[in-house]
Every structure is written in structure tokens, then in C-alpha cells.
Amino acid sequence: MKTHIIILLYIVVRSVSGQLNDHQNPLLSDGYNQSKVHVMQDGHQDPIPSDVYNQSKVHVKQDGRHQPEYYGYEPPCPDAEDIAPCVCTYDSVFNVMDLNCSAVENEDQLKQIFKTDFPFKNFTSLRIEHNKNLKVLEAGVFNGISFENIYIVSNKLEVIELQALDSCHETATELYLINNKITSFPFDELSLFSKLRDFDISYNSLSVIPADAFHGLTALEYLYISDNNADIVGTFQDLPNLRDVYLNSNPITTTIPVQFIKTGSSDLSSIGLSGNNIVSVEPGAFDIVDGLDIDMDHNSLSTLDEATWRPYLEAGGTLEANFNPLVCGCDIAWLFAEDQLLEQVYNAWCTDGEFLHDLDPSIFDNC
Ligand SMILES: *[C@@H]1O[C@H](CO)[C@@H](O)[C@H](O)[C@H]1NC(C)=O
Ligand SMILES: *[C@@H]1O[C@H](CO)[C@@H](O)[C@H](O)[C@H]1NC(C)=O
Ligand SMILES: *[C@@H]1O[C@H](CO)[C@@H](O)[C@H](O)[C@H]1NC(C)=O
Ligand SMILES: *[C@@H]1O[C@H](CO)[C@@H](O)[C@H](O)[C@H]1NC(C)=O
């Protein structure tokens, strides 16, 4: 029971500290001590003093492979010199095996490293951070080695080739590609990432984002595509567990079409469309979900059209509409009606400089 609590606590700590974070997780930092691993009958691991552990208890199967439920005495990491400058660390308490390839010197070296014989091919995480050398992540580079959490963040990476991440199709839950120079990503392959929960390709140089490529990603909860200056084509549909979608700071011009974000998710809580030059939003553009926040700040809306926005506000949603050229004529009188929907609109000013919430409702009496 205690182990479960520790593991649960660890998962919480890890998922908090694992986000976009350059600091090493303190739980992982002291490397591994194989001799501390003890595996109980039910497969859960328990840290026990090393002198209790008896090496002769390690079972090796007929075929020479170790019992799958624990590593035994042999460290799961490959020999350090075989994979340098990548660094493998293993935390035996939580059975977490991480690979940090941030110091890799070029594409060939990375490819060569993964030709090493890895005792275990299933890593928990891969990190390539603040690397100035890699421009291309080549097809097949990981040579069958898989990762669950992939942090390829703040590098100079330009191209991710088709099949570069093929070994992770069935394992990746987090794919963070933030702050690179990515112009080419294999969107056609996205639907193969069956467990993908977080996808973040913000702060890159994509010119087109095909929204249809995300259709049917049933595990996807967080989708971040902000700050790409990309044209978003197609629609985001059939994403039944989506919570947040951020498309901010992409030059989506003119009109948001019907069913642009129709995920079918009842957990949808945030749609970010700020900084996009949007002139109008068609009625029925988004899912209608209680508590949904739609951020339309920094766009080119001249009105808050009743047919479009009333359904979201009536359902308990909120709308951010700051920094839009709102004219504030009879077209917004509906916000001042008895149902007080104005209260669910945040921070909006009219072009004449008046704060929307300060307008005297009686000015709409003749509308
Ligand atoms: C990964 O390696 C780089 C360079 O070798 C190092 O600066 C960084 O702190 C490491 N990150 C983690 C999380 O260990
Ligand atoms: C592993 O643990 C044992 C006993 O706790 C200790 O004596 C040994 O120094 C540890 N080894 C490493 C590499 O931390
Ligand atoms: C380990 O197991 C061997 C064989 O079963 C036994 O002879 C030895 O005394 C054990 N050592 C410890 C420290 O328990
Ligand atoms: C890797 O796979 C083995 C065999 O299935 C398993 O025992 C081990 O826990 C896995 N390692 C990690 C880090 O998930």
C-alpha cells in the first residue's frame, strides 16, 4: 500500500515537474542503484536495503533473456561509453529509464548511438534540449528504441522526417517539440500515435498545419500549436478526450468555419485563438461545453454576434475578447438583456475606448 502511495505521489511530482522544465527531477538525479531493487510477487517494486537482496536470486530464462518483471542485477542501461554523449539514467525505485541526448554532435552520431545493442529498448523518456547541432531527425534514427515522454525542446531542429519517430507510435504519451525551427513535421503519421496525450509543437516555423491529421486521436488531451505563423487548414474533429487546444498567434485570417473545433469531448475546457486576425466566427464553429473558455483576444472582431456566441455563454462558457475593434452598437444589445450574459465576457473594450462592462444598458433601449 505504501508503495502505491509513493508511486502515486511520484507520478504527481513527475507530471508536474516534467512539463517543459529544464530542471532535473530530484527523484531521478542520483542515478540508479540496482541492488536496491526488490520485486514482490505481484510485480510491484519495493525499495529494500541492498544487503537483503541476494544476487543469486536473479533468474535468467533459457533463451538468455532476463525475466520480464525485473532487471535483476544487470543494469538496464547500455554501457555509458557505447552511447556517449547520450546519458542513460535508471531509477530503480520507480522503474524509470531516461535517455538524455542533448549533447549529441550531429545526425550521424545520433544514428550510430542507436545502433548499439541496448539491453532494454523501452525507455521512459528522451531528452534533446538546447542542442545547436541537429537540424534533421532522420527516418528510423531510433532503430526500434521506444520512448513514452519525448522532450525535443529549444533546439535548432528544422525537419522531422517521416518515420523518424516510428519506434514510438505505440508508446509515446507526451511529444514536446517546443521552440525549435521546425518547418516540416510528418503530420500524416500522427494518427499512429495511439497513446498520445500531450502534443506540443508551439514556437516553431510550420507554414501549414493540417487539422485533419489529428482526427481520431482518442487519447489526446492537450494540443498546442501556437506561435507558428501557420495556416491552419481543415477542422479539428473526433478528439473525444481533448481538454485544451491552443492555436494562438497563427495568421488564421477572415472567418472561422462551422465545425472548426468539433471534438465531441465533454472535457473541453479551453480554446485559444488569440492573435490570429480573425474577422468573424460562424455559428456552430466549436463544441458547446459547460465551462468552456474561448480566448479571442487580439483579433479583428468588430462585433460579438449573438447567433455565434449566445450558445456558448448560455451553456456556462466564457469569452475573452480583449483587443478587438468592437463597434458596440445594437448588435451587442443582447449581452445587456436580462440573462446578464455580459458577465461571462471578459476584458473587452469598444473602439471608442469605452469598457464594454461600463456601458449604460439603457443606451440599448431603442435597439
Ligand atoms: C541533459 O544533458 C545536458 C547536456 O549534457 C545537460 O546540460 C542537462 O542538464 C541534462 N538534462 C537532464 C534533465 O538531465
Ligand atoms: C548502493 O547501495 C548500497 C547499500 O545501500 C551502497 O553501499 C552502495 O554504495 C550504493 N551504490 C551506489 C552506486 O549508489
Ligand atoms: C545468497 O544465496 C546463496 C545461495 O542460495 C547463499 O549461499 C548465500 O548465503 C546467500 N547470501 C545472502 C547474503 O543471503
Ligand atoms: C521495459 O520492458 C520490460 C519487459 O517488458 C519491463 O519489465 C520493464 O519494466 C520496462 N522498462 C521500463 C522502463 O518501462
Among 173, 205, 237, give the residue marking a domain's end.
Answer: 205
183 and 232 co-located in one domain: no
Among 156, 190, 205, give the residue marking a domain's end.
Answer: 205
292 and 250 co-located in one domain: yes
Give the C-alpha separation, 256 to 272, whole Å.
13
Q: Is 17 in the pocket of ligand 2 (CB under 6 A)?
A: no
Whether residue 17 contacts residue 23, with contact meaning beta carbons closer than 8 Å, is answered with: yes
Residue 259 lies in a domain: yes
Ligand 4, CB cutoff 6 Å, lining residues: 68-69, 95, 97, 120, 122, 124
Q: Is 33 in the pocket of ligand 2 (CB under 6 A)?
A: yes
Q: Find the 57 Cα to ligand 3 centroid distance in Å.
A: 9
List the chain pLDDT tens, one digit each, 367 residues.
Answer: 444 544 444 444 444 444 433 333 333 333 333 333 333 334 444 333 333 333 333 333 344 444 444 445 567 999 999 999 999 999 989 999 999 999 999 999 999 999 999 999 999 999 999 999 999 999 999 999 999 999 999 999 999 999 999 999 999 999 999 999 999 999 999 999 999 999 999 999 999 999 999 999 999 999 999 999 899 999 999 999 999 999 999 987 689 999 999 999 999 999 999 999 999 999 999 999 999 999 999 999 999 999 999 999 999 999 999 999 999 999 999 999 989 999 999 989 999 999 999 999 999 988 8
pTM for this prediction: 0.75
Residue 5 lies in a domain: no
Phi-psi label, residue 312: left if phi above 0, alpha if psi -120 to 50, beta otherwise: alpha
178 and 113 co-located in one domain: yes
| Closest residue CA from atom 14 of ligand 1 | 24
Using the CB atoms, write b or e for 167-197: b if 16+ within 10 Å. Answer: bbbebbbbbbbbbbebeebbbebbeebebbb
Q: Is 159 in the pocket of ligand 1 (CB under 6 A)?
A: no
CATH code (residue 156): 3.80.10.10
119 and 246 co-located in one domain: no
139 and 250 co-located in one domain: no
| Closest residue CA from atom 13 of ligand 1 | 24
153 and 198 co-located in one domain: yes
Compute the radius of gyration of the chain from its Cα atoms.
Answer: 25
Q: What is the position in ligand 4's atom list of the atom closest to the CA of 97?
A: 13
Residue 47 lies in a domain: no
Residue 217 lies in a domain: no
110 and 239 co-located in one domain: no
Which amino acid, one-letter code, is at 78?
P
Residue 363 lies in a domain: yes
Q: Find the 68 Cα to ligand 4 centroid distance in Å.
A: 7
Give the C-alpha separation, 238 to 63, whole Å.
45
Among 156, 174, 205, give the residue marking a domain's end.
Answer: 205
147 and 247 co-located in one domain: no
262 and 197 co-located in one domain: no
Q: What is the domain count for the chain?
A: 2
| Closest residue CA from atom 12 of ligand 1 | 24
Q: Find the 100 Cα to ligand 1 centroid distance in Å.
A: 6
111 and 182 co-located in one domain: yes
CB-based contacts of 228: which residues, under 8 Å, 6+ apart?
A: 201, 202, 203, 204, 205, 206, 207, 209, 249, 250
Q: Find the 25 Cα to ligand 4 centroid distance in Å.
A: 20
Residue 271 lies in a domain: yes
Q: Find the 190 Cα to ligand 4 centroid distance in Å.
A: 25
DSSP per-residue letters across 87-138: EEEEETTTTEEEEE-TT---HHHHHHHTTS--S--B-SEEEEES-SS--EE-
Q: Find the 34 Cα to ligand 2 centroid distance in Å.
A: 9
Residue 364 lies in a domain: yes
278 and 366 co-located in one domain: yes
| Closest residue CA from atom 11 of ligand 2 | 33
Which range of residues forms the domain containing residue 191?
A: 68-205
Residue 23 lies in a domain: no
Q: Find the 153 Cα to ligand 4 centroid distance in Å.
A: 25
Q: Is 15 in the pocket of ligand 1 (CB under 6 A)?
A: no
194 and 256 co-located in one domain: no
Quote the distance between the C-alpha of residue 231 and its chain's center.
20
